[in-house]
């Protein structure tokens, strides 16, 4: 079955991991997050390192190591994390035909793609990691 909307595994891991770490009173390692989410420990570790590199998380190495949130989760929006992983989110139409080549006077999809993109961007922009 096809999906109308798809969020990459990397972005999903980043947002879920940030929320899990933000809610924890103790540092968590990649294995603990993998146990909670079902994602690959190695993929989680790779994503968490990107979050460390961009100053969202701090990490401690070693057997008792792990990750803690570095910024206030009340100040971090979901879109920050999403765009860190995926790049800027465009609010443009995903119509496969250039407007000049389209044989129809109006978009046959009624601009739904653009509407979905705007609503998704607004949702991510308004939702804070602390609220998850």
Which element (helix H / strand E) includes 59? strand 57-60
- What distance in Å separates the CA atoms of residue 108 and residue 128, rounded to the nearest whole number? 35
Query: Residue 29 sits in a domain of what CATH number?
Result: 1.10.10.10
The pTM (predicted TM-score) of the whole model is 0.86
| Residue 88: domain span | 9-131
- What distance in Å separates the CA atoms of residue 10 and residue 85, rounded to the nearest whole number? 7
Query: Is residue 2 one of the residues assigned to a domain?
Result: no
pLDDT digits (tens, 9 = 90+) for 41-95: 999 999 999 999 999 999 999 888 999 999 999 999 999 999 999 999 876 555 6
Query: Is residue 51 one of the residues assigned to a domain?
Result: yes
Query: Is residue 1 one of the residues assigned to a domain?
Result: no
Query: What's the chain's length in residues?
Result: 132
CA geometry: angle 39, 82, 84, nearest 5 deg: 105
């Amino acid at each position: 079955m096809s999906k109308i909307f798809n969020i990459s595994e990397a972005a999903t891991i980043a947002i879920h991991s940030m929320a899990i770490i933000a809610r924890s009173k103790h540092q968590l390692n990649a294995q603990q997050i993998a146990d909670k989410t079902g994602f690959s420990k190695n993929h989680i570790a790779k994503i968490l390192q990107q979050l460390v590199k961009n100053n969202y998380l701090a990490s401690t190495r070693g057997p008792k190591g792990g990750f803690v949130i570095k910024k206030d989760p009340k100040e971090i929006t979901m879109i920050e994390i999403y765009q860190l992983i995926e790049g800027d989110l465009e609010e443009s139409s995903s119509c496969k035909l250039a407007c000049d080549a389209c044989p129809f006077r109006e978009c046959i999809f009624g601009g739904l793609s653009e509407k979905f993109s705007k609503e998704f961007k607004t949702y991510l922009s308004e939702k804070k990691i602390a609220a998850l």
